[in-house]
Structure 1
Amino acid sequence: MTRLHRLLVVEDSESDIELLREALSDSEPALELDVVRHGEDALSFLRREGEFESAACPDLVVLDLNLPRMGGFEVLRALREDVDPRLRRLPVVVFTTSATATDIDKAYDLHASSFVTKPTAFEHYLDTVRAFREFWLRVARLPANA
């Protein structure tokens, strides 16, 4: 039996969230999505603080860079500097509209697991999401979560 995988999506755009849900709707292996809309909630969710104290630990974080209140780079930095080893090694896929070398380099300097630019065409978007889903949830070995 294939185990259920959990993704935390950190995205403020409702249309991007819906596109991601659509692209992952036929997921195999099984997939559960949790969504937060800004960086502060992402950290609270992952640290199981406040309203998120009973949140399930995700296997993978899909992180936009352009977020209100706390941007994606700040979230990534906070995760990689966290005292909790579970958060430091949690795979984070930066999934953003940016394709600039500066953003790509900065994401990897902050130890992003991968950097994916969101395609603008619907079919390319679906193909891209399915490709990183295939890699991260079927091919890659993910760290054990506590």
Structure 2
Amino acid sequence: MQILLIEDNPGDVRLIKEAFRDVDAETTFHAVHDGTSALESLRERQRDDGSVELDLVLLDLNLPRKNGFEVLETINQDPDLVAPPVLVLTSSEAVEDVTRSYELCANAYLTKPNTPDEFIEMGRAIEAFWFDEATLPPAVASA
């Protein structure tokens, strides 16, 4: 599994990476710390035939430079920008944030867990659904 992790909090980056160490599939994270870098990474992967294909994006909403909503808006509005499924992973439980994320075509909205064990459960749930059960679109590189 190749995951683009868009998260500015180093502690959360560490917890998320550790959570996926316990899943069955081998997982590689490509972490960026702001929305601008995330969009640059997605665009670069489309231009570079030798880059690693992404399977999933984990997107925090509260980011510097461009926030998560701006990232979703850009992905949704730019016909040349193709992204794998985007899962919003944020601390916000606000109904407005959930609603807006889905309006901007997020594939799922997850609230960050509170404990390391809950992060591990979340990692297993993401693996079970997104990689074992769901049928994903063709890889971005073949788009």
- Tell me the TM-score normalized by structure 1: 0.87
Could you tell me which runs of 5 or more consecutive residues in structure 2 were left unpaired when the two chains were aligned: none
Contact 1:46 1:57 in 2 (8 A): no
Give the match for residue 8 of structure 1: 4
Question: In the TM superposition, what is the alpha-carbon distance from 1:130 to its structure 2 partner?
Answer: 1.7
Q: Residues 85 and 17 of structure 1: is their aligned pair in 2 closer, same or farther, counting only changes over 3 Å?
A: closer
Question: In the TM superposition, what is the alpha-carbon distance from 1:11 to its structure 2 partner?
Answer: 0.3
Question: In the TM superposition, what is the alpha-carbon distance from 1:43 to its structure 2 partner?
Answer: 0.4
Q: How many residues align?
A: 138
Could you tell me which runs of 5 or more consecutive residues in structure 1 were left unpaired when the two chains were aligned: none
The CA RMSD over aligned residues, in Å, is: 1.7
Q: Which deviates more, 52-61 or 117-126?
A: 52-61
Question: In the TM superposition, what is the alpha-carbon distance from 1:121 to its structure 2 partner?
Answer: 2.1
Q: Return the letter of the residue paired with 2:6.
A: V
Residue 135 (structure 2) aligned to one of 118, 123, 141: 141
* 2-structure distance, mates of 1:60, 1:141: 12
* 1-structure distance, mates of 2:88, 2:65: 18
- By relative contact order (CA 8 Å, sep 6+), the higher-ranking structure is 2
Contact 2:19 2:116 in 1 (8 A): no
* 2-structure distance, mates of 1:55, 1:71: 25
Question: In the TM superposition, what is the alpha-carbon distance from 1:85 to its structure 2 partner?
Answer: 6.2
Give the match for residue 62 of structure 2: 66
Q: Residues 84 and 28 of structure 1: is their aligned pair in 2 closer, same or farther, counting only changes over 3 Å?
A: farther
Residue 125 (structure 2) aligned to one of 112, 131, 134: 131
Q: Which deviates more, 68-77 or 28-37?
A: 28-37
Q: How does 1:85-124 map to 2 (within 5 A)?
A: 86-87=82-83, 90-124=84-118
Q: Return the letter of the residue paired with 2:120.
A: L
* 2-structure distance, mates of 1:85, 1:78: 8
Percent identity between the aligned chains?
36
- Tell me the TM-score normalized by structure 2: 0.89
Q: Give 3-state SS (helix, strand or coil) of 2:30's partner.
A: strand
